[in-house]
Structure 1
Amino acid sequence: MSTLHYEVHGPSDAAATVLLSSGLGGSAGFWQPQLGALIAAGHRVIVYDQRGTGRSPAALPEAYAIADMARDVLEILDATRTAQCHFAGHALGGLVGLQLALDAPARIASLVLVNAWARPNPHSARCFDARLALLGACGARAYVEAQPIFLYPAAWAAEHAQRVADEVDHAFAHFPGEANMRARIGALRAFDIAARLGEIAAPALIAAAKDDVLVPWTCSQHLADGLRDVTLDFVAHGGHAHSVTEAEAFNRGLLDFLSRVAAPAAIA
């Protein structure tokens, strides 16, 4: 049985399973805007809290890597008797999917990569340097107060001010600790599989917002250029978390992609 917190939603006899992996926050709750749409479309859906976050508490080692996060997903697939899944990952979660597609390709029917990347870039590095400096100098509260700046377009955040404030309070109440956050950021900053993209055969949906202030959309274009079977879904607006801010449009693209890729057996 997995030591990670995970949830299985939707019909147990579904033709396909979709596993959703969130970004740096690590929470299953990030995918709430997609959950209902996926279940309504007949999919079996797995969401989980990543190790060292939320309801999966653990002390992470300094040398923690994306490969460790990929092994956690394999643990969940085994625990839920899932032979193969459609893997959707946001940012860091997308890196986990790419690693899985290299390490255990038979388990991945398709990839959905949302504002993800294959190698480090100097702009995102500058953003993470600033966030880590804020965490070290001012603490967790200042760190989570700054988080919406990187996630959401300014106009959307202003229009949804109470929702954003509630999210900040929740993030502070469930902050995984400075050591775990540094380990997770270290893992994503060390990730570089740019030279291996051509090894990945799984069909991929590359979704990106061109106004993402944390991860340049050109990182998604690089993924598209390197992968072998790609569907593009680039939007002009929505920010780093455009699956939240433009959920209806994002869900249409996601469901359309899933309807076009081959559906594997859900359960081993």
Structure 2
Amino acid sequence: MYREWHGPEQGPVVLLSSGLGGAAGYWAGQIPALVAAGYRVLAYDQRGTGRSREALPAGYSIAHMAMDVKQLLDAEGVSRCHFIGHALGGLVGLQLALEQPRAVASLVLINAWAAPNPHSARCFEARLALLDHVGAKAYVEAQPIFLYPASWAAAHAERVQAEVDHALAHFPGAETMHARINALRQFDVAAQLGRIEVPTLLSVAKDDALVPYTCSDRLRVGIAGAVQHTLAHGGHAHNVTEAELFNEVLLGFLGR
């Protein structure tokens, strides 16, 4: 898989795992802050997305994605990392912490969840219906509706349009998107959360239109010692829309 390093050659490693889009570029708002704080940052394009266009295996699952991360860490000679995951990327972090606990120094989960919920399922059904019956352009054009608050998207219209254009130009194909969405919809580790013992930060926005903030509440209850930071505003991608505040909380957590 495509991967990129940022920051010093020595120091604690932070691995960044994106959401459904899967691309390393999602973390542009966090990488400079992490590097300035002395972290070695490893970002990657998930299998089947961006510059990692390998075919997905049959029965593709979050467990496959976690295995990809472990193989990536092994290939880069990294035995342990701070794992930061957004949405689907957070699910990968949960799976990795369950299967390879020694590889995870800490978890940061941004608008993640431990089990399916009917609201998110409805959102994904609507997105797949757009993809199947209207096409990739409609699917990609709808993406900002789920990622960003309406006020932020309107105020940053040129940026949002540039993201849409880039996503359409690099669209991985309907079959890949179906497999990735099916993987996250099948994910359920609610009964196993008590096994996760690494320090965990839950970062959540109450106005997330895709994932109910109560999903993070359930993670906090299930993971012993987990701490939660809640924003009233910021949307599903609040590490983008409220990057400065998110980075402050993130670095404070990692520093502890």
Q: Give the shorter-chain TM-score range.
A: over 0.9
In the TM superposition, what is the alpha-carbon distance from 1:62 to its structure 2 partner?
4.7
1:32 aligned partner: 28
Q: Which runs of 5+ in 2 are unaligned?
A: none
2:51 aligned partner: 55
2:8 aligned partner: 11
Aligned counterparts of 2:65 and 2:28: Cα–Cα separation in 1: 21
Q: Which amino acid aligns with 2:230?
A: F
The alignment status of 1:233 with 2:233, answered yes or no, reads: no
In the TM superposition, what is the alpha-carbon distance from 1:106 to its structure 2 partner?
0.3
The alignment status of 1:224 with 2:220, answered yes or no, reads: yes
Aligned counterparts of 2:226 and 2:9: Cα–Cα separation in 1: 29
- Identify which of structures 1 and 2 has the higher relative contact order when contacts are C-alpha pairs closer than 8 Å and 6+ apart: 1
Q: Once the two structures are superposed, what CA deviation does each residue of 1:21-56 show, in whole Å capped at 9, x if it has no partner?
A: 000000000001000000000000000000000000
CA contact (8 A) 1:209 1:236 kept: yes
Q: Which amino acid aligns with 2:212?
A: P
Aligned counterparts of 2:58 and 2:155: Cα–Cα separation in 1: 39
CA contact (8 A) 1:60 1:179 kept: no
Q: Once the two structures are superposed, what CA deviation does each residue of 1:240-260 show, in whole Å capped at 9, x if it has no partner?
A: 000000000000000000000
1:121 aligned partner: 117
Q: Once the two structures are superposed, what CA deviation does each residue of 1:136-181 show, in whole Å capped at 9, x if it has no partner?
A: 0011000000000000000000000000000000000000000000
The alignment status of 1:94 with 2:85, answered yes or no, reads: no
Match for residue 128 of structure 2 among 123, 132, 136 = 132
Q: Once the two structures are superposed, what CA deviation does each residue of 1:79-115 show, in whole Å capped at 9, x if it has no partner?
A: 1111100000000000000000000000000000000
Partner SS, residue 109 of structure 1: strand
Aligned counterparts of 1:51 and 1:80: Cα–Cα separation in 2: 17
Aligned counterparts of 1:217 and 1:48: Cα–Cα separation in 2: 27
Aligned counterparts of 1:13 and 1:241: Cα–Cα separation in 2: 30
1:150 aligned partner: 146
TM-score by length of 1: 0.95
- Pairwise CA RMSD of aligned residues? 0.6
Q: Which amino acid aligns with 2:34?
A: L
Aligned counterparts of 2:56 and 2:10: Cα–Cα separation in 1: 36
Match for residue 78 of structure 1 among 74, 77, 97 = 74
In the TM superposition, what is the alpha-carbon distance from 1:61 to its structure 2 partner?
3.5
Q: Which amino acid aligns with 2:210?
A: L
Aligned counterparts of 2:241 and 2:109: Cα–Cα separation in 1: 17
2:250 aligned partner: 254
1:96-115 correspondence runs (5 A): 96-115=92-111
Q: Which amino acid aligns with 2:104?
A: I
The alignment status of 1:65 with 2:36, answered yes or no, reads: no
Q: Which amino acid aligns with 1:85?
A: C
In the TM superposition, what is the alpha-carbon distance from 1:210 to its structure 2 partner?
0.2
1:266 aligned partner: none
Aligned counterparts of 1:9 and 1:133: Cα–Cα separation in 2: 38
Aligned counterparts of 1:166 and 1:132: Cα–Cα separation in 2: 22
CA contact (8 A) 1:153 1:238 kept: yes
Aligned counterparts of 1:96 and 1:135: Cα–Cα separation in 2: 24
Q: Once the two structures are superposed, what CA deviation does each residue of 1:225-249 show, in whole Å capped at 9, x if it has no partner?
A: 1001211111000000000000000
Q: Which amino acid aligns with 1:101?
A: A
Aligned counterparts of 1:12 and 1:222: Cα–Cα separation in 2: 37
Q: Which runs of 5+ in 1 are unaligned?
A: 261-268
Aligned counterparts of 2:78 and 2:126: Cα–Cα separation in 1: 40
Aligned counterparts of 2:221 and 2:103: Cα–Cα separation in 1: 23
2:42 aligned partner: 46
CA contact (8 A) 1:61 1:183 kept: no
In the TM superposition, what is the alpha-carbon distance from 1:207 to its structure 2 partner?
0.3
